[in-house]
Amino acid sequence: MSTTSTAMPEMMKAIRWHPPSFDIRVENIPVPQIQDPDDAIVKVTLAALCGSDLHVYRGHAGVDQIHTSGHEFIGEVVELGSNYGAHSQGRPALYSTLKVGNKVVSPFTVNCGECNVCRLGYTCRCPLSALFGSPALEGGQAQYVRVPKAGGTLFNLSDAKSWTSSLSDELKGKALAGIADSSLLMLADILPTGVFAALQAMNHPKVLPAVSGRPWPASFFPGDVSTTMLAEDRMLTFAIIGLGPVGLCASVSLLDMLSAQQLPYQIIAIDPVESRREKALAVYSKIEQEGKGLGKFVAQSIDDAKKTVADWTGGVGCTAVLEIVGNTSAISLAYDIVRPFGAIVSVGVHGEPQMPFTGRQLYNKNVSFDFGRCPARAMFPLAFDLLGA
């Protein structure tokens, strides 16, 4: 037996994508039903549109099946499969605590929460994972959505105690009461993805010498250091390429991490669109001096940014580059402005079949790449803390 709130309608409106491209329709389709005892049905209150929806819309994603769009949504649980209840102790906690009527936000991919991949925190690559709004799983730009493995996937925004983070339950509760749903919706993808980009850059082994003040490879070990780094060697130079919503979230998250650790930094935020650069500067101007820490932040066009990186680093390049766009020109720019022994973190969805580098180019710069989808479920507590702070 599944648990339902009230009688559900049989039909709903949904935004459906049709192949091959540029064809979006609002259609009446059946309300989804529980198909597996681990499922939940969520009544969607707000859904968002993402840059990666546009790849599909434009026909760039290699998709050929009609499906309901959207992977960012917030809503209310209206039906739970038979695996929810006190008898599910020992499984992820939501199987025993989630109730019909709870307000939930879903990470943009499903994950089980019970396998080796999920336990390691790499939740977006769970073998049972599926992306909402794809041929594999109907999306959230609809009145209702089916969430498989919901006990491993969802976050219960009605219960601040249902996850742990650096904020107390009381502060989390206050934040939940004070933050608008339109902001909580960012927790589905763009905020965790921005935090993920910043976290990977800050914690990259090749960034560690500047962060720790210990040169490579002593940065990995305690004990004596044979060469002494100068204060100027510890300057962290970051570029952020792409100042859409995820780029802004990445900027704020990076500033938060740098100021919390009181590290010297310089950030060059890059976008060819002037209004986006202005938005980034407006967001930066709202951050209190304490949150800005020990650095400077500029937002520049591509050509200006190349000059600034050269000026600020004596021609060496950036410690790390956050590539938020996911196209060939953005990743080429990242390679051009990163330093030897630098790190490039790419969180955009790349559609081109080839990367624009030769093996020799990669060798010649000792460059490291971190590619891929954000494990949004694992990143949620950090993202929520940033939103609530």
- From candidates 115, 131, 294, 387, binder to Zn ion by CB under 5 A: 115
Residue 38 makes contact with Zn ion by CB under 5 A:
no
Residue nearest to Zn ion (CB): 50
CA 190 to CA 135: how far, in whole Å?
Answer: 21
Q: Which is nearer to Zn ion, 207 or 248 (CB)?
A: 248
Binding mask 121-150 for Zn ion (x = CB under 5 A): -----x------------------------
DSSP structural state of residue 209: H
Q: Which of 175, 159, 119 is nearest to 384 (CA)?
A: 175
Task: For residue 154, give every residue at least 6 positions away whose Cβ sits within 8 Å of its Cβ, in sequence order, or none.
Answer: 40, 42, 77, 94, 98, 104, 105, 106, 147
Helix axis angle, 302-313 to 328-337, nearest 10°:
20
CA 119 to CA 378: how far, in whole Å?
Answer: 9
Q: Give min distance, CB of 80 to Zn ion, in A.
A: 20
End-to-end CA distance of the chain: 41
Q: Which is nearer to Zn ion, 240 or 268 (CB)?
A: 240
- From candidates 79, 138, 159, 189, binder to Zn ion by CB under 5 A: 189
- From candidates 80, 98, 104, 118, binder to Zn ion by CB under 5 A: 118
Q: Where are the alpha helices (DSSP H) in 203-358?
A: 208-212, 245-260, 274-286, 289-292, 302-313, 328-337
- From candidates 50, 201, 249, 263, binder to Zn ion by CB under 5 A: 50
Q: Which is nearer to Zn ion, 70 or 342 (CB)?
A: 70
Do 15 and 70 touch, CB atoms closer than 8 A? yes
**Binding residues for Zn ion restricted to 54-113, rule: CB under 5 A:** 111-112
Task: Provide the binding-site residues for Zn ion, judged by CB under 5 A.
Answer: 50, 111-112, 115, 118, 126, 189
